[in-house]
Structure 1
Amino acid sequence: MQEKGIEIIKSSGEKMLFSLDKLRKSLKHSGADHNLVEQIVSKVKEELYEGITTNEIYNRAYAILKKNKSVFASKYKLKKAIYELGPTGFPFERFVAAILSNSGYNTSVNQHLNGNCVNHEIDVIAEKNNTTTIIECKFHSEEGRNCNVKIPLYIHSRYNDVKAHWETLKNKNALDAGWVVTNTRFTADALAYGKCVGLYLLSWDFPKNEGLKDRIDRLSLYPITVSTLLTNREKQFILSRDIVLCRQLWKNKFLLDHLGISNLRKKRILDELNQLCNS
């Protein structure tokens, strides 16, 4: 249901009609119960005005969720949390590798492979069932930016160069696929090109039911940046230790001791991590 035809402004600057149904759906996705969802919807409706930004609406909903239960706020901020893996793309590459590792792949990051023409630095190499997949990660730290057709065009040419050399070697694994993974979205032309040449494209919500959002929720593989209790400085310290998942931090709890966190606060953080890892 759209609310009285009120136009809101997306992070890209594009205008769209505000939808109560979309807001409800995202709030329910956080785990909030019906009463809390309706409380937030009612509050947002009261404060709507023509030209309000999606970021302002998000901030209002996030504040109420955080006040009620931090784990709800953590899940609600998932998309923004992935942007917070920046400013460089390296933590995102490790995050993508971690998702694939938890899906049965053996992964390695930042490896060099010879092509028929030149050498290529590959963001992620994933192996499973005697096949090898090479993956390029395109991270954007600013909301509203999409991957256009130039990205899959470029990656496909690199994949073909690597594959041409790969097939001259006696590798035990077949090089069967090239992927492009982004934390934003692909343009229509980018999707059409990927489909045409057989390049697998993975974005925030594509493919349907298999996008990053779906994989993260299904496997409870939340990045540490979703935490509402860790400060930005603490998150950057943990990321610098190659820990990108809440699940990894749970297994390496000793890192919290290096941050000088009090026992009471440490208990709260661990409780939040536990809920996220087992949601």
Structure 2
Amino acid sequence: MDQLVVTKASGEKVLFSVGKLKLSLKKSGADDALVQEVLHELEPVLYEGIPTKKIYKHAYAILKKLSKPTAARYSLKKGIMQLGPSGFPFEKFVAEILEMQGYSTQIGVFVDGHCVRHEIDVIASKDGKHYMIECKYHNLSSNKSNVKIPMYIHSRFKDVEKVWPSEQEYEIRFHQGWVVTNTRFTEDAIRFASCMNLHLMGWDYPAKAGIKDMVNSFALYPLTCLTTLSHAQKQRLLDLKIVLCKELLHNESVLIHKAGVKEGHVGSVMNEVESLCGSHRT
């Protein structure tokens, strides 16, 4: 398999990295035996030039058959991309990540700027400081957040940064602006944000503190990762503003009466939820 040429989403042809696949499987909770079984079943369906997206789909299907919780963790990126398109589920998801780090949060707050009125996706507070957070949701992993996004957020931040009780005096309303995205930032976006003291959080940025790291650390898996719910059932729960798997713990009635899950299937769903949430039950 190390000699296989595959096609990335960008169209670029590269050698298939078995090591990267093994690592992603292990990070999803697969032990050595499960990793080997996935590779064994995956090899016959591979062919020269196969899109990496198809490799992911095959690996996910194999995992779903062998270990549903592992498949759910493996599909984290896809699950987050299914939180749209309204924006609110992703904003709530981001707020939950921040709260697990000791921030208090508010979602969708309108504030008056020096020039115009703004809706702030998430306001976070910690240790007496306040942060204006813009959430940039993408439904395709190939969609990066380019430099225009931090430039735009910086201009909004400067407009709402200060409150002017009088022409001569002002108070600091926000101490820093943040941009959080479920994909990646371009190099120019990172460079501009660093220059302007904007904080960025992306799929794997900053190193060891990106979204995927936070989710795995705090078991904040979105319910869209679940393999035991249909797309329609997930959407019903999102419409109810239920976003995270942990919100389903000890709440079987919501699954039955709101999501339309049959009573005989609830046990399977709850088992998967329990496996994903682990000891993070609060």
Question: Which region of structure 1 is more displaced relative to structure 2, 30-39 or 47-56?
Answer: 47-56
Which residue among 146, 149, 169 is the counterpart of 1:148? 146
Q: Could you tell me which residue of structure 2 aligns to residue 70 of structure 1?
A: 68
Root-mean-square deviation (CA, aligned residues, Å) is: 1.9
SS at structure 1 position matched to 2:151: helix
Aligned position for 1:195: 194
Query: What amino acid sits opposite 2:266 in the alignment?
Result: K
Read off the aligned partner of 1:151 and give its amino acid letter. Answer: I
Q: Is the 8 A contact 2:103 2:125 kept in 1?
A: yes
8 Å CA contact 1:115–1:166 kept in 2: the answer is no
**Kindly tell me: are residues 3 and 234 of structure 1, through their superposed partners in 2, closer, same or farther at Cα, counting changes over 3 Å?**
same
Q: Distance in 1 between matches of 2:73 and 2:187?
A: 28
TM-score (norm 1): 0.93
Cα deviation, residue 93, structure 1: 1.0
Q: Which residue of 2 aligns with 1:25?
A: 23
Is 2:267 the partner of 1:267?
yes
1:107 aligns with 2:105: yes
Q: CA deviation at 1:113?
A: 1.3
1:24 counterpart letter in structure 2? K
C-alpha displacement of 1:58 = 0.7
**CA–CA distance in structure 2, aligned partners of residues 215 and 207 of structure 1:** 11
Q: Superposed, which structure 2 residues align to 1:4-23 within 5 Å?
A: 4=3, 6-23=4-21
SS in 1 for 2:10: coil
Aligned residue type for 1:182: T
Q: Secondary structure at the match of 1:244?
A: coil
- Residue 223 (structure 1) shift: 0.2
Q: Which residue of 2 aligns with 1:86?
A: 84
Match among 113, 127, 130 for residue 129 of structure 1: 127
Structure 2, unaligned runs of 5 or more: none
Using the alignment, how far apart are the partners of 1:251 and 1:187 within structure 2? 41
Offset, 1:88? 2.8
Q: Is the 8 A contact 2:5 2:15 kept in 1?
A: yes
Q: Which amino acid aligns with 2:272?
A: E
- Answering whether residue 178 of structure 2 is matched by residue 183 of structure 1, we say no
Q: Distance in 2 between matches of 1:193 and 1:170?
A: 27
8 A Cα contact 1:114 1:162, kept in partner: yes
> Which region of structure 1 is more displaced relative to structure 2, 115-124 or 35-44?
35-44
1:235 maps to what in 2? Answer: 234
> What per-residue deviation string (whole Å, max 9, x for no partner) do you get for residues 43-99 of structure 1?
333333222111110111111111111101000000000011112322111111121
> For each residue in 1:163-210, what CA deviation from the matched residue of structure 2 results, as whole angstroms up to 9, or x when unmatched?
133697886x86221100001100011011111111001000000000
Identity score, percent: 46
Check 1:260–1:82 CA distance in 2 against 1; reply closer, same or farther (3 A cut).
closer
Amino acid at match of 1:126: A
Question: Comparing 112-121 with 244-253, which one deviates more in the overlay?
Answer: 244-253
Q: Which moved more, 1:57-66 or 1:87-96?
A: 87-96
SS at match of 1:175: coil
Residues 160 and 14 from structure 1, CA distance in 2 versus in 1: closer, same or farther, beyond 3 angstroms?
farther
Structure 1 counterpart of 2:54? 56
Gaps of 5+ in 1: none
Equivalent residues in 2 for 1:216-227, closer than 5 Å: 216-227=215-226
Q: C-alpha separation between the residues in 2 aligned to 1:205 and 1:167? A: 40
Q: Kindly indicate whether the alpha-carbon contact (under 8 Å) linking 1:12 and 1:145 is maintained by their aligned counterparts in 2.
A: no
CA contact (8 A) 1:166 1:175 kept: no
Q: In structure 1, what is the Cα distance between the partners aligned to 2:250 and 2:170?
A: 39
Preserved contact between residue 183 and residue 204 of structure 1 (Cα < 8 Å): yes
| 2:193 partner letter | G
Deviation at 1:14, TM superposition (A): 3.5
TM-score of the aligned structures, taking structure 2 as reference length = 0.92
Q: Are the counterparts in 1 of residues 120 and 133 from structure 2 also a CA contact under 8 Å? A: yes
Judge conservation of contact 1:136–1:180 (CA < 8 Å) in 2. yes
What SS class does the counterpart of residue 174 from structure 2 fall into?
Answer: strand
Q: Following the alignment from structure 2 to structure 1, what is the Cα–Cα distance between the partners of residues 11 and 160? A: 39
Residue in 2 aligned with 1:278? 278
